[in-house]
Amino acid sequence: MVDPNSYQNLFKLPELKRKLLITLALLFVYRVGIHVPTPGIDSAALQSFFNAASGTLFSMFNMFSGGAFERLSIFALGIMPYISASIILELMTVVVPHLEQLSKEGDAGRKKKTQYTRYGTVVLSVIQGFGISVGLEAMTSPAGAPIVLYPGWGFRIVTIITLTAGTAFIMWLGEQITERGIGNGISLIIFAGIIARGPAAVGNTARLITTGEMGVFSLIILTVLMLAVVAAIVYMEQAQRRIPVHYAKRVVGRKMYGGQSSHLPLKINPSGVIPPIFASSIIMFPTTIAQFIDVPIMQSIAAMFNPGTIVYYITFVGFIIFFCFFYTAIQFNPDDVAENMKRNGGYIPGIRPGKRTAEYIDKVITRITVGGAIYVSAVCVLPTVLMSRFNVPFYFGGTALLIVVGVAIDTMAQIESHLITGNYNGFLGKSGSNRLKGR
């Protein structure tokens, strides 16, 4: 149970109070920037276009940008270029020796990789800004009104500079939140953008009930389902497979080290929300292309991948499972873990150190990744099944719900650690066995 007095302690620690206020202030700045439009755009025509383009790749970009993409505000690109640059850099670490060496250099290597990520973010923002400016010039609303008022290179250059500067500013805001505030800044910015859609979702549900399109019984079922899914996500994101590790006694000088037991915690879902993001991007690509190419074969392919079709479900789940294994293989190297354990005198009971340990850890991580992939697939497919088969407006489902719950757990874990450090009870009271664990 959550300790009711824990929320009263949030502002008793001066340092925690300052961090919370800085975080809220910077998020407020981000939300204000969402409503600052890019010059040269017909907002009404753009809104009509997005209403007709729901369910495409534009919808996912709009979700991560907190609604800025459908307004084409200065923050229209959102934080997606930064995320893309981070993922690309992680993938390149496997094949580029220099990046792999930086990963082993501790804090100095991490700072260098962060700098590379910033450069990559700017490059991707320029490319995406150019593509958006050119694409907008060719777009019209369903009524035929042009979205760009004055097309040409003047509009393109202004759009590239505006969107790139907006993304760079969001990246700076995220870093400031991480450094001076509480929680992970980039994650909190995405979190704020998704949560901002809450009032509109509640209002839409109230409208459906008022007009009779949705009954009270359906609302109760919807609420129970949302609570059940949230509870399942919290449980799975906190779940771990703990491999026991013993450390042999060794004498260094006049001191004896080791002789203790520990464990190697392995997450049930080590890849986080990366697999559904990648899978959504790929599966929405045909539908997005069909918006611009009026060719019968493209329309047929896009129809096959519309949410609710059997091809959509099979392909979506297949991509999620593939990226779960792919990203876990990149992030977690059993050989390095086994080597570090052997170097520090650690061993798994009943398993020979070295190659045998690496094979055992690889077998365990493969098994739990299967469970994690099934869990992520179920959470991501459930909202689509409810909306397409039962006409239930299941808001904040799939990837959005995974992000919201995961970021909330991480942030609460950091706040709780500050409270415990300041000799205050955490969110779960005095029980030390129920501490929140961040991802």
Average pLDDT for 22-48 = 85
Give the integer Cα–Cα distance in Å for 318 and 380. 12
- Whole-angstrom CA distances from 132 to 125, 162, 292, 372 are 10, 12, 13, 35
* Per-residue DSSP letter, 37: B
Q: What does the pLDDT average to over 402-426?
A: 77
| More confidently predicted of 136 and 115 | 115
Mean pLDDT, residues 384-390: 64
pLDDT at 108: 82
The SS3 of residue 243 is strand
pLDDT at 285: 66
With 50 as the cut, is the pLDDT of residue 359 above it?
yes
pLDDT at 172: 92
Residue 269 is given by DSSP the state S
pLDDT for residue 143: 73
Instruction: Report the percent of the chain where pLDDT is more than 90.
Output: 8
Is 150 within 8 Å of 159 (Cβ atoms)?
no
C-alpha to C-alpha distance for 301 and 210, rounded to whole angstroms = 38
Averaged pLDDT for residues 47-59: 65
Q: What is the mean pLDDT of residues 267-271?
A: 83
Work out the pLDDT band at 433, boundaries 50, 70, 90.
very low
Look at residue 292 in the predicted model and tell me its pLDDT. Answer: 58
Query: Residue 1's pLDDT band (boundaries 50, 70, 90)?
Result: very low
What pLDDT was estimated at residue 53? 60
Residue 326 above 60 pLDDT? yes
Predicted confidence band of residue 173 (pLDDT cuts 50, 70, 90): very high
Per residue in 134-148, pLDDT (tens digit) is: 877 877 777 777 788
Query: Domain 226-395 is in which class?
Result: mainly alpha
Q: What span, in angstroms and rounded, lies between the C-alpha atoms of 117 and 87?
A: 9
3-state secondary structure of 133: helix
Mean pLDDT of 338-358: 84
Task: State which of 90-99, 325-334, 363-372, 403-412 shows the largest mean pLDDT.
Answer: 363-372
The answer to whether residues 39 and 76 touch, using CB atoms and an 8 Å cutoff, is no
Give the span between the Cα atoms of 428 and 56, in whole angstroms. Answer: 41
Token reading at 202: 């509640």
Evaluate if residue 429 carries a pLDDT over 90.
Answer: no
User: Which contacts of 328-333 are long-range, i.e. CB under 8 A and separated by 24 or more positions?
Assistant: 328/270, 328/271, 328/365, 328/369, 330/90, 330/91, 330/93, 330/94, 331/90, 331/270, 331/271, 332/270, 332/365
Say what the pLDDT of residue 3 is: 55
Interatomic CA distance for residues 142 and 51, integer angstroms = 9
What rounded mean pLDDT belongs to the chain? 79
- pLDDT reported for residue 54: 59
- State the pLDDT confidence band at 396, using cuts at 50, 70 and 90: low
For the record, the structure tokens of 389 come out as 């088969």
More confident residue, 283 or 328: 328
Q: What is the mean pLDDT of residues 43-63?
A: 68
User: Band of the pLDDT at 122, cuts 50, 70, 90?
Assistant: very high
Confidence of residue 287 (pLDDT cuts 50, 70, 90): low
CA neighbor of 48 nearest in space, from 150, 165, 144: 144
Q: Kindly tell me if the per-residue pLDDT of 392 is higher than 60.
A: no
* Cα 391 to Cα 293, 383, 384, distances in angstroms: 30, 10, 10
Delimiting residues of CATH 1.10.3370.10 domain(s) in the chain: 1-197, 226-395
pLDDT of residue 253: 61
Alpha-carbon gap, residue 43 to 115, rounded angstroms: 36
Q: Quick one: which of 188, 183, 235 has its CA closest to 414? A: 183
pLDDT at 21 over 60: yes
Q: 75 and 65 in contact (C-beta within 8 Å)?
A: yes
Q: What percent of the chain has pLDDT over 70?
A: 79
Banded pLDDT at 26 (limits 50, 70, 90): very high
Architecture of domain 1-197: Orthogonal Bundle (1.10)
Residue type present at position 165: A
Mean pLDDT within 51-77: 70
Instruction: List C-alpha distances in Å: 198 to 56, 64, 280, 400.
Output: 21, 14, 22, 12
Give the pLDDT of residue 260.
Answer: 74
